Amino acid sequence: MRRAFLGSIAMCLAGAGVSLAQPWGPPPLVPPGFGPMPPQAVAPAMNPARPNWGTWPAPSAQISDPGVVQANHATPSDCPACGDTCGPTCAVDCCPPALPPECPETYCIHSWFSIEHLRWAIKDGPLPAPLVTSTTTLGSVAPAVLGDAGTIVLYGSKDIDYDTAHGMKLACGVYDPSLNLGLEGAVFVLEDVPARFEDRVQANENRFLARPFYNLQDNIQDVFYLAFPGAFYGGINVTSTSRFWGAEGNITGCVYADDGCSIDLIGGFRYMYLKEGLTITDNTVIVPGGAQGFFLGDPVNDGQIVRQDNFDTQNKFYGGQFGFRTELYLGKLFANFKGLVAVGTNHTSSTIRGQSQLFSTSGQSLNYTTAGGMLAVRENSNRISQDSATVIPIFEVNVGCDITTWLRAYAGYTFIYWGSVTRPGDQIDVRIDPRSIPTSATYDPAFRGAGPRNPFDRSDFWAQGLSLGLAVRF
């Protein structure tokens, strides 16, 4: 017995585990008085119209080992006439013989449904470019220019830190024990995860606020001022969002099962979707009597200039997946592990666009709106898409308890890795010729420069986290 038990554990650790679609846990013990009937024995029907479940099997049936369900269960094709003797839980197909009226292990097709609450983290968004600088000193070159004494980077040059996200996962399936096959599907959704940065300088504040860039016209580090004491005041808002969800459909097949372990093989289809965006909005109020601003090359002595740059990316994965699932159980307790590898096509896209607006100081629009912001101008404002082959590994671990024969509760951990995706921060190019920027003093509508560009760079993405779930079997 010990060798058989150790052998079953070894097979489970080398393989993978049981689906919710299979019967949960080992076959229940048969109460004393119930046991396997002789092969020729047939349970007498007390009343065909109203079976007396309490008298089945016949009292005279031979009991070879009380308390243990024998393994030589008949299949549906072996007992076509079992009929009402199956008991109330066997409305579809035949029961194995020699089981009590409740029929705890049947050959009936059954279904299941589960719901999980997710609390996941996603990989921080890359943002190698510095986006906002500040200083309180004039410096040796120009205030707030990168590399100048006293200049600090307020935002950018490091990854975007996303908060953990709540989410939900729904799954359902059907299982046919007579074939050891099941069908199952699942979908998960995470809430939109935002990350924000905001800074504003008031009119009476002695601080410089700027957006840095590399000036391709003069080949120097340069800035556009959002706040310059005595000339401008204003602020900036940077918002990044991430949306992640996916779905799958699988066929499962049980390849091994005993009283402490099960192994399933899994094959099916997976779809995943990742959409992210990075929006940079700044506004500059021109102080009357101070320095001039510019809009489409014309000087502006009074008003408010608003610029916006948008960097959006989408990733869609379509592919097949295969793997295994293994479950170990001890009484009502269980632990399972699932490993999958999805192989397919990843459709990625990157969209860049920008605009600039001129308002009066009262906030009323002067109807001056033009395409092009600061980092998103005519040279890089476009949409690029591409398909590539991708491999996505997925791992899941759950531990829980069978509360009843039809309800189980569990907690789990999931990890998903997705390589070769486009993310917004990777698409920012800070090498710009000011003649392409509508709010520059040297703006030229006919000019076409060497930068910026839409680099369409790739990076990777992962999501991982905990879950709490309930599963119901019908």
DSSP 233-251: EEEEEEEEEEEEEEEEEEE
pLDDT at residue 242, rounded to an integer: 98
Return the bridge partners of 217, or none.
none
Q: Quick one: average pLDDT of 4-18?
A: 43
- Asked if residue 186 has pLDDT above 50, the reply is yes
Q: What is the pLDDT of residues 389-401, one digit of tens each?
A: 999 999 999 999 9
Residues 217-225: what's their mean pLDDT?
96
- DSSP 8-state code for residue 113: E
User: Who's near 47: CB < 8 A, 6+ residues apart?
Assistant: none
Residue 185 has pLDDT above 80, yes or no: yes
The single-letter DSSP state of residue 50 is S
Supply the pLDDT for residue 365.
58
Q: Are 150 and 136 in contact (CB under 8 A)?
A: yes
Confidence tier at 293 by pLDDT (50, 70, 90):
very high
pLDDT value of position 66: 31
Q: How many CA atoms lie within 13 A of 150 on its CB side?
A: 14
pLDDT attached to residue 349:
98
What pLDDT does 288 receive? 86
Predicted TM-score (pTM) of the model is 0.79
Q: What is the pLDDT of residue 149?
A: 87
Q: How far apart are CA 425 and CA 191, in angstroms?
A: 20
Tell me, what's the pLDDT at 324?
Answer: 98
Cis peptide before 38 (omega within 30 of 0): no
Split at pLDDT 50, 70, 90, the class of 243 is very high
Measured CA to CA, the distance from residue 444 to residue 139 in angstroms comes to: 30
SS3 351: strand
Instruction: Give the model's pLDDT for residue 107.
Output: 52
Q: Which residues contact 20 (CB under 8 A, 6 or more apart)?
A: 112, 114, 171, 173, 184, 408, 471, 473
394-413 average pLDDT score: 96
Given phi > 0 = left and psi -120 to 50 = alpha, else beta, which region is 232? Answer: beta
pLDDT, position 450: 86
Arithmetic mean of pLDDT, 24-45? 41
Domain boundaries in the chain?
A: 110-473
Looking at residue 228, what is its pLDDT?
Answer: 95
Segment 303-329 shows an average pLDDT of 97
Q: Specify the long-range contacts of residues 58-67, CB closer than 8 Å, at least 24 apart.
A: 61/35, 61/37, 61/98, 62/35, 62/36, 62/37, 62/38, 63/33, 63/34, 63/35, 63/36, 64/35, 64/36, 65/35, 66/30, 66/32, 66/33, 66/34, 66/35, 67/29, 67/30, 67/31, 67/32
Please answer whether residues 341 and 448 qualify as being in contact, where contact means their C-beta atoms are separated by less than 8 angstroms: no
pLDDT tens by residue, 164-180: 999 999 999 999 887 88
Mean pLDDT of the chain: 82
pLDDT classification of 302: cutoffs 50, 70, 90: confident
Q: What average pLDDT does range 339-360 have in this prediction?
A: 96
Looking at the chain, the whole-number percentage of residues with pLDDT higher than 90 is 67
Could you read off the pLDDT of 434-454 as tens digits, one per residue? Answer: 999 999 999 999 999 888 999
DSSP type of residue 228? B
pLDDT of 245 higher than 60? yes
Q: CATH classification of 110-473, choosing from 2.40.37.10, 3.20.20.140, 3.30.70.2170, 2.40.128.90?
A: 2.40.128.90
State what percent of residues in the chain have pLDDT above 70. Answer: 75
Overall average pLDDT of the 99-109 stretch: 49
Q: Is the pLDDT of residue 33 over 90?
A: no
Report which residue type is found at 41.
A
Determine the pLDDT at residue 291: 86
Mean pLDDT confidence for 270-286? 97
pLDDT tens column, 52-82: 333 333 333 333 333 333 333 333 443 333 3
Q: Which residues are 269's β-sheet partners? A: 249, 320
Q: How many helices (H) and strands (E) does the chain have?
A: 1, 19
**Taking 60 as the threshold, does the pLDDT of residue 49 lie above it?**
no
